[in-house]
Amino acid sequence: MDDALKERVLEARAVERDLDERVDAVVIGTGCGGAVVGKELASAGKSVLFLERGGFFLMDRGDFDQREDDMLARIDGGRGLDVSSTSTLALTYGHNVGGASVHYWADSWRTPRDRIELWATKFGVEGHDEATLAPLFDRIERDLNVHRAEDARVNEMNRLFALGAQRLGFGTERVMQARKNCVGSGYCMQGCAYDAKQSQLVTGIPAALAAGARVFADCEAEAILVEDGRAIGVAARFIDRRTNKPSGRTVRVRAKVVVAAAGGFGTAPLLLRSKIPDPSGQLGRNLRVNPCPQTFGLFDHDVVMWRNIPAAVDSMDFRLASYEGGRYVEGGYLLYPNQLPPAALSAFLPGFGREHRALMEQAHRIGSSICWTDDVNAGSCALDDEGCPIWRYDITGDDDLIIRDALAKTAHVLLAAGAREVIVPDLVGTRIHDDKELAKIDRVAIGEGSMLFAAPHPAGMCRMGRDPKTSVVDCRHEVHSVRNLYVCDPSVFPTAVSVDPSLTIMAYSHVAARHILERWPA
């Protein structure tokens, strides 16, 4: 990012007094939703101010040092430590300019047709059909250099995954990637130190700044301001990045349009704190997260799964769950190779003391497979007395069956690829040595802290629909109950997308920007 654009970003350390701002549009969040909407509005000549709770980090300042401990605290929400109330989910979300796109894997999927049809027929989503989204996906893929992973990006873990899947008769394919000039360092989740991953930090935000937008980083939106049923601005405070506490400086932004794009975990709590009217009773409900079961295989040769890109190949064979007579049979997940760097690997591997140390001494020979499961049942969010979110999410019913089947498939792939032992990350560290022992997975404990699942793709808590009695946001992305307040992030999706949602968020946000400009308030 050139120096002229950097000057349009204000960080908390440079704020010496309380601020008052007047703009056409204030956008809360700078991820795939906020960056796209802000860029489109700024390009149309509107004055745009982004408020980003996280910090502003740049490659050319050496901010991306590829150290897990540093980067987890810098760019992950909750400094990587947020969990659901029963410690079942590890909440995964962005906390920096560029949002979660800075630490995501760069997998780039168009919204599956079945998901578009489900949202239209069951939830009344209009104006987001394939014909509308296809040219937007074309544009996004050009802007982000989306292409299939090339041979040079297939690491040993990906090779083993493909080998195991093919031996079992599972179909595999190369995964679409948003990368340019990738060097394969393997630190994608720590933010790209080479600006190769085409996150919003290196695409959407610079484009918005070039069009005249500004960014306030380290700036937390406390409340959306509403008068006479219309959003009129945002009250926010600056955060001292060193302590993660308020700096003592505030900003009040008056705006004609307010865009809530704080992410699938961020927008609903903000609307709840702001006491946004909710006739539907759905605000903060319907939470889906694509919980991620994973298993680990011990191989007799070096795997070093944290080198090169995380997922160059996948298997889509089980993305849609199959049922017979209304009873679950199998599937309901996207099957992937996994990539965990050493510190994250140590957190997910079971055991303590000498047993755990013995595993970590073999970390370079440990491989892993993971699934994004398409959760059926929903969680929710409520606020405690201090306005902090409490996340409630239980794995029950078909979700229990889906996760067990996903664990079995990941273990089977690793065994077929040559793993001499597969480790299930439950409390007792269940070990599987051959296909006959896969039945052990039917008995492992997976609920209430027995096993930790990453929750990377939150959706649903401000779901979209025609009917204000059953949805929070209308099909123009405007909150039913408040004029000029728009939601542009995955919380509008009625369910999870079942694949990485980044491109869907961007395409939906292009649709939202069109509606905002068409209905611009007088």
Per-residue pLDDT of the chain (522 residues; tens, 9 = 90+): 888 999 999 999 999 999 999 999 999 999 999 999 999 999 999 999 999 999 999 998 999 999 998 998 899 998 888 999 998 999 999 999 999 999 999 999 999 999 999 999 999 999 999 999 999 999 999 999 999 999 999 999 999 999 999 999 999 999 999 999 999 999 899 999 999 999 999 999 999 999 999 999 999 999 999 999 999 999 999 999 989 999 999 999 999 999 999 999 999 999 999 999 999 999 999 999 999 999 999 999 999 999 999 999 999 999 999 999 999 999 999 999 999 999 999 999 999 999 999 999 999 999 999 999 999 999 999 999 999 999 999 999 999 999 999 999 999 999 999 999 999 999 999 999 999 999 999 999 998 888 999 999 999 999 999 999 999 999 999 999 999 999 999 999 999 999 999 999 999 999 999 999 999 997
pLDDT at 81: 86
Topology at the third CATH level for domain 3-147+188-287+457-503: FAD/NAD(P)-binding domain (3.50.50)
User: Can you tell me which residue has the tokens 């017979």?
Assistant: 324
pLDDT at 79: 85
Q: Which residues pair with 483 in a beta bridge?
A: 230
Rounded CA-CA distance 495/119 in Å is: 8
pLDDT at 41: 98
pLDDT at 133: 98
Rounded CA-CA distance 169/450 in Å is: 32
pLDDT at 449: 80
Write the CA distances from 218 to 29, 251, 261, integer angstroms: 11, 12, 16
The amino acid at residue 243 is T
* Global pTM value: 0.97
Q: Give me the half-sphere count of Cα atoms (radius 13 Å) on the Cβ side of residue 97.
A: 30
Count of CB atoms within 10 A of residue 61's CB?
A: 10
Q: At what angle do helices 32-43 and 502-518 cross, to 10 degrees?
A: 30
| Residues 94, 74 contacting (CB under 8 angstroms) | no
Range(s) within the chain of domains with CATH label 3.30.410: 148-181+290-452
Range(s) within the chain of domains with CATH label 3.50.50.60: 3-147+188-287+457-503
- Beta 245-260 vs 19-28: how paired, if at all? parallel
pLDDT at 173: 97
3-state secondary structure of 373: strand
Rounded CA-CA distance 436/513 in Å is: 54
Which CATH architecture fits 148-181+290-452? 2-Layer Sandwich (3.30)
pLDDT at 447: 80
Count of CB atoms within 10 A of residue 471's CB?
A: 25
Closest to 105 in 3D by CA, of 56, 161, 159, 149: 149
Q: Which residues pair with 374 in a beta bridge?
A: none
